[in-house]
Structure 1
Amino acid sequence: MMMYYRPIPMQGVARPANARQIAGGWCWFDRVEKITRGGRRELIAIEEVPAEVLAQITTPRTDIAGLSFDTPRIMGILNVTPDSFSDGGDFSAPEAAMKHARDMVIDGADILDIGGESTRPGADVVPIDLEISRTAPVISAIRSEMQTPISIDSRNARAAQAAISAGADLINDVSALSHDAEMVKLAVDTASPVCLMHARGVPKTMQSSPRYKDVLLDVYDHLQTRIMVVEAAGIPRSRIMIDPGIGFGKRSEHNLVLLRDISLFHSLGCVILLGASRKKFIGDITGTQSAKDRTFGSVAVAILAVTQGVQMMRVHDIKSTKQAISMQMAIIMTKQD
């Protein structure tokens, strides 16, 4: 029977002698929740965790796109689309996109994520040439002005190739490199780091009736399988991020379970990216209809993720998220008694 091991993240000065750091970051653990399908969970000592799993949890994560992960990182969202759920049309014009990129870097974004195809629930497929025309020129313009890392948010190899040629550093694929058969080869050929996200179905229909046997373990298994596929193709785990895909074929209760137990994904041995900013489940819980009014809920989710050791937050509201994380980390890392 498959066993799953979720480190229980802790912070603070007083810690047991046998405690270990999670991924070389700011959280430590000395206990683990052992999970099996069927709902059985039990707390076990760190010494009971299999050696290979313990190594996956504790090994410091390698730099990706020039970023280290000894502190939380912020990925700023730049959608150059007319129909994204939160900011569709706001940054379609090149001048508006460039201004927003500058503003996000000033506000504290560590990396910019450029997307030319909306993957919101119900979204239609965008022709690849149109996606390229939206993203590649903006990436080129950003790269000519600043050295901030850039990721291309795309499922399509031709669009990702154009973005890499224009200066993108990372492929962020909501299909975990499965939508386009050429995407894995592109990542191998260009030695690009990748982010593999879990999604159930395609954007057009993914929210129609999402069902899981156990959402936490189903998402884990899917990501583990995709990691194994891309590793076998020649992409080392050190160049892989993972994203549980909040809101992608998931109801509110699915999202909450994933957020509550997100530290399980440290067992995969990859940097964890979380993209929950302004999403509908925040509105469902808080009664906030407008996506742009969900800043406070989004920041609360980001702070929860920091306490779970999540290394990167993909967000719309850079300044507020940066301020909250900076305060959280100052409290966590203080050494004075």
Structure 2
Amino acid sequence: MQDAPRTVTFGPKRFCFGRRTYVMGVLNVTRDSFSDGGRYLAFDRAVARAEEMVEEGADIIDVGAESARLEAEKLDPAAELERLLPVIEWIARHLEVAISVDTYKSVVAEAVLQAGAHIINDISGLHEDPEMAGVVARHGAGLVVMHLQGSARQPARQPRYDDVVAEVTAYLQASIQTARQAGVAPDRIMVDPGIGVGKLTEHNLALLRELPRLKALGHPILVGHSRTSVIGNLVDAPIGDRLEGTLGATAALVALGVDVVRVHDVRANVRAARVADAILRGWTPPWPWAFDAVTGEQRRPLRSLRELARQD
């Protein structure tokens, strides 16, 4: 799944899709997200975590205020923006990172893009709010369209598919068409199969195995597999103990040519993705080697992933 590199800029970051797999860090300013609900709801904790993720090598920070969990509270736009705007504005002022916002509401998208966000991550794939595509287009922003069976407020509890890969592909194709008709530039659209949302474990595995079929859509692929139920079922572990499973999936996704992985544990996934990219894609870091290839001895001081990312 090697592609000719395609370069696009989101905010302060330049992305060369096809060269390596980029890492999007999850920042949930929520009470009830499945993995870390409540942990970063307070402003001080949220911005500290954003800064930490940049230090750990995150290329994008995806900020969300409303969980997709079936049992999670669903916010009106005012409440969603009350959580989002202070964090977005702080990140835009202080950090050198692309900012994505996880929302399916056009009113929220308009406000966060004005506040400094660069990408809208719509879990409904533009199927929820008919105004969303126009807002993204007017701002020249990036757009992630995700597949979802059911609705953003109520994902399917008992999802059914005749051919999950074909149905997800058709859904995303409709999302792309809606975005392009509204004026969203083709090179600013990414697609997300929606792992773990409105799907059973067998659906998720089928999608992951058949990701090459999504490449036919002609847009970068983003996958959010981190700590999801499919990982838990494979490694037989609760949410807080799924790091190794997530890293195994990350390495496999690099091999499949995925362009962005959306994860909670940024440092570990950055390292896993870089090693997999070096082996599978021939990617080499632009900084000098820190360790002697024969003796393994350190030849120069180690630098932070944030410093190294600036040279990438």
Pairwise TM-score range, normalised by the shorter structure: 0.7 to 0.9
Question: Using the alignment, how far apart are the partners of 2:283 and 2:183 within structure 1?
Answer: 41
Tell whether 2:134 aligns with 1:185: yes
Q: 1:61 — aligned with what?
A: 6
**Are the aligned partners of 1:122 and 1:204 in contact in 2 as well (CA < 8 Å)?**
no
How many Å apart are 1:203 and its aligned residue? 4.9
Instruction: Provide the residue aligned with 1:23 in structure 2.
Output: 3
2:34 corresponding residue in structure 1: 85
The 2-side partners of 1:303 and 1:120 are apart by 26
Determine the C-alpha separation between the residues in 2 that align with 1:160 and 1:220: 25
Deviation at 1:64, TM superposition (A): 4.3
Task: Confirm whether residue 296 of structure 1 aligns to residue 249 of structure 2.
Answer: no
Per-residue CA deviations over 1:202-261 (Å, capped at 9, x if unaligned) read 255424210011001110111111111211221132110000000111000000000111
1:242-321 to 2 correspondences below 5 Å: 242-289=191-238, 291-321=239-269
Partner of 2:79: 130
Which residue of structure 2 aligns with residue 110 of structure 1? Answer: 59
SS at match of 1:68: strand
Q: In the alignment, is the contact (CA less than 8 A) between 1:203 and 1:248 conserved in 2? A: no
The answer as to whether partners of 1:170 and 1:193 remain within 8 angstroms in 2 is yes
Equivalent position amino acid for 1:104 in 2: M
**The 10-residue stretch of structure 1 (185-194 or 308-317) with the greater mean CA deviation from structure 2:** 185-194
- Structure 2 contact 32–73 (Cα < 8 Å) conserved: no
Question: 1:317 is aligned with what amino acid?
Answer: D
Provide the rounded CA distance (Å) in 2 between the counterparts of 1:216 and 1:79: 28
Q: Secondary structure at the match of 2:258?
A: coil
Please list the CA deviations of residues 255-308 of structure 1 after superposition, one character each: whole Å capped at 9, or x if unmatched. Answer: 00001111111111101000010011211222112x121111111111111000
- Tell me the equivalent position of 1:29: none
Alpha-carbon shift at residue 93 of structure 1 (Å)? 0.7
Q: 1:208 aligns with which of 151, 157, 160?
A: 157
- The change in CA–CA distance for 1:213 and 1:183 in structure 2 (over 3 A counts) is same
Residue 152 of structure 1 corresponds to which residue in structure 2? Answer: 101
The answer for the alignment partner of 1:41 in structure 2 is none
CA distance in structure 2 between the partners assigned to 1:97 and 1:184 by the alignment = 28
* AA aligned opposite 1:23: D
Give the alignment's TM-score, normalised by structure 1.
0.80
Q: Percent identity?
A: 38
The 3 A distance-change label for structure 1 pair 193 and 233 is: same
Alpha-carbon separation, structure 2, partners of 1:118 and 1:206: 11
1:61–1:271 contact (8 Å) kept in structure 2: no
Deviates more, 1:63-72 or 1:145-154: 63-72
8 Å CA contact 2:35, 2:240 repeated in 1: yes
Alignment partners' CA distance in 2, 1:159 and 1:203 = 14
Structure 1 residue runs without a partner (length 5+): 1-8, 10-21, 25-59
Provide the rounded CA distance (Å) in 1 between the counterparts of 2:153 and 2:125.
17
SS at match of 2:100: strand
1:325: which partner in 2?
Answer: 273
Q: How far, CA to CA, are the matches of 2:104 and 2:62 in structure 1?
A: 13
In structure 1, what is the equivalent of residue 293 of structure 2? none
Q: Map Cα deviations across residues 152-174 of structure 1 (whole Å, 9 max, x no partner).
A: 11011111111111110001100
Q: CA deviation at 1:68?
A: 2.1
**CA distance in 1: counterparts of 2:114 and 2:96, whole angstroms:** 15
Shift in Å, 1:193: 1.4
CA distance in 2, matches of 1:214, 1:122: 27
Contact 2:137–2:182 under 8 Å retained in 1: yes
The CA RMSD measured in Å over matched residues stands at 1.5
Task: State the SS of the aligned residue for 1:140.
Answer: helix
Which has the larger displacement, 188-197 or 228-237? 228-237
**In structure 2, what residue type is equivalent to 1:85?**
F
Query: Alignment partner of 1:63: what SS?
Result: strand
Q: Secondary structure at the match of 2:161?
A: coil
Give the corresponding residue for 2:175.
226
Q: Is the 8 A contact 1:76 1:314 kept in 2?
A: yes
CA contact (8 A) 2:144 2:189 kept: yes
Structure 2 contact 192–223 (Cα < 8 Å) conserved: yes
Q: Are the equivalent residues in 2 in contact too, given 1:76–1:112 (CA < 8 A)?
A: yes
Q: Tell me how far 1:334 sits from its aligned partner.
A: 7.2
Indicate the SS of the match to 2:169: helix
Aligned counterpart for 1:140 among listed residues 78, 89, 100: 89
Separation (CA, whole Å) in 1 of partners of 2:146 and 2:46 = 25
